[in-house]
Amino acid sequence: MANPVPVVSRRSSSLAALTFGAVAASPFAVTAAAQYGYFPDQPEAVEVADLARRPSFYHEKAVLTRGRLGFSVGMGLNQRVMALEDPESIDEILMAQPYMSSNDLAFMGAGEVEVEGWFFATRMVDEFTLRSHPILRNYPYDPSWGDSMDMRREGFLAIVAVTPIGDTESVVSEREREAAAEMAAGDAIKIEAGSAAALTLDQLIADPEPWLSQRVEVIGKFRGNNLFGDLSIKDKKTPRDFVIKTADDAIWVTGMRPAGNGFRFDPTRRRDTGKWLRVYGRPWTSDGMVYLRAERLELTDRPDDDSLEPVDIRVAEKEAREADVSPLRVVFSLPLDGEREIPLDSEFRVQFSNRMAAESFHAAVDLLYGDEPYEDNPFPELEVTYDDGSRSLLVIPNGSLDPERELHLILYREIEDEHGQHLEPQPLAAEWDDDAVWVLSFRTASQ
């Protein structure tokens, strides 16, 4: 998280804090009802070690993982909270069934289990999130557990489904079998030296027509599954595709995983991207893009020509700047716009449809009572924090709200997204101020 940047509230001479980056509280999801069901459609297969070591990356993602059951945590309802341990390391995460289930974990004696669920980084979960999040509010979890447990438990897995592995093939054996199969596939076709046309990537990409469906030999540096943004991810054809590159020329390699005789690369990790590959395959095209369908993969030495070293060009970033951008709008708030009887210690969250320019919130947000004179400022310590990852704004009054009063959160025209777009003004926003574009209204509870 970057250091807090002092900003001035719209109608205040005092300073508030605008924070660039993640906030401690995990923000809500705008499409909670649609996005969060108890049966995610496409969970991502990951290792427990990945979840434990990169919790923020997998925060609020549907995952499928395998591990060994550890000890339960807490008492009462929390007896259903277990530790899931990585079978090959000391890494572990917490997991639990929802409160809505009255049964204890039926698989406690299984040892090895496969678990599908929603993952949360413990450092990004607070009391507010537990009350408001459409998934976490149904699970036994307490942020204070982090005060007493070692730092290996960086994540919490809200269980959707769990399957005992029991006496079936162990995770380690299965991984070894899969690795051996992938390496054998990459080494399967034997090709005599000199039987395939040796081309450079720039030759193949510049003029693929003479080589379509012909076997060619190409050398390139392994770039994972587009980890450096060398190509448009929209042009990727299958999940197993990976990229090789020389200089500023890159190509998608299809047809097999990056493995061969004596090697097996992980396309999701940069640690493998320093290796060079010789790829035997057949070029093909689709929508003007050139692809290489691999038949055999071999490790090769780094070329003597230094000019072949890949040049980093963030294609994805360039495309984002040039792409058509959806209009900027407010898509969700907590409390809800128009909500009555909000608690006197409320904080306010606003989520936007696009990523925002964090600095544009400077002096562009107010929190006012409906009957306050224009010049008054009821919250001199108003704090405004923006989280880019969730596109959400957190407004903290830093003072108790007055009971039974109309309250308005006002956004002004200076606010813009990363593309320079401004909010389309609400019809009645100008009644507050000529520069006001969006007003959210609430009613505070009685004491």
Hey, where are the domains in the chain? Answer: 31-164, 186-322, 330-443
Average pLDDT of the chain, as a whole number: 77
Of residues 137 and 210, more confidence is placed in: 210
Do 226 and 253 meet the contact criterion of CB atoms below 8 Å apart? no
Q: Which of 15-19, 154-158, 397-401 has the lowest mean pLDDT?
A: 15-19
Which two structure tokens, joined as six digits, stand for 209?
């027509």
pLDDT band for position 2 (cuts 50, 70, 90): very low
Between 107 and 276, where is the model more confident? 276
**Of 57-71, 98-112, 306-320, 359-373, the least confident:** 98-112
Mean pLDDT, residues 83-92 taken together: 81
Which of the four pLDDT bands, split at 50, 70 and 90, describes residue 315? low
pLDDT tens string 247-265: 989 999 998 899 999 899 9
pLDDT at residue 314, as a whole number: 60
pLDDT of residue 205: 94
Q: What is the CA radius of gyration of the chain?
A: 27
Q: What are the distances in angstroms from CA 258 to CA 172, 197, 245, 261? A: 20, 21, 14, 11
Q: What is the pLDDT of residue 238?
A: 81
Identify the top-confidence range among 41-45, 66-70, 85-89, 403-407.
403-407
**Best-predicted range by mean pLDDT among 173-177, 290-294, 358-362, 371-375?**
290-294
Is the predicted pLDDT of residue 317 greater than 60, yes or no?
no
Q: 169-205: string of b/e by CB count within 10 Å (b at 16+)?
A: eebeeeeeeeeeebbebbbeeeeeeeebeebbbebbb
Taking Cα atoms as reference points, which of 226, 222, 234 lies closest to residue 263? 222
CATH of domain 31-164: 2.40.50.140
Give the pLDDT mean for 150-166: 72
pLDDT given for residue 3 in this prediction: 34
- 186-322: same fold as 31-164? yes
Residue 75: band (very low, low, confident or very high) from pLDDT cuts 50, 70, 90: very low
pLDDT of residue 219: 96
Query: Is pLDDT above 60 for 303?
Result: yes
CA pair distance 283, 278, nearest whole angstrom: 14
Backbone angles phi, psi at 313, to 5 degrees: -130, 115
The alpha carbon torsion through 412, 418, 422, 426 (nearest 10 deg) reads -70
pLDDT at 21: 33
Q: Which of 10-19, 138-147, 283-292 has the highest mean pLDDT?
A: 283-292
| Multiple choice CATH, 330-443, 3.30.310.50, 3.40.630.30, 2.60.40.1220, 3.40.50.720 | 2.60.40.1220
**334 touches 348 (CB < 8 A):** yes
**Local confidence band at 4 (pLDDT 50, 70, 90 cut-offs):** very low
Q: Does residue 353 carry a pLDDT above 50?
A: yes
Distance between CA 402 and CA 398 in Å, rounded?
A: 13
Does position 10 have pLDDT exceeding 50, yes or no? Answer: yes
pLDDT of residue 179: 77
For residues 260-280, give the mean pLDDT.
Answer: 88
Interval 284-299 mean pLDDT: 92
Average pLDDT over residues 269-280: 88
Confidence at residue 90, expressed as pLDDT on a 0 to 100 scale: 75
Name the fold adopted by 186-322: OB fold (Dihydrolipoamide Acetyltransferase, E2P) (2.40.50)
In the chain, the percentage of residues whose pLDDT exceeds 70 is 76
Distance CA 122, CA 159 (A): 15
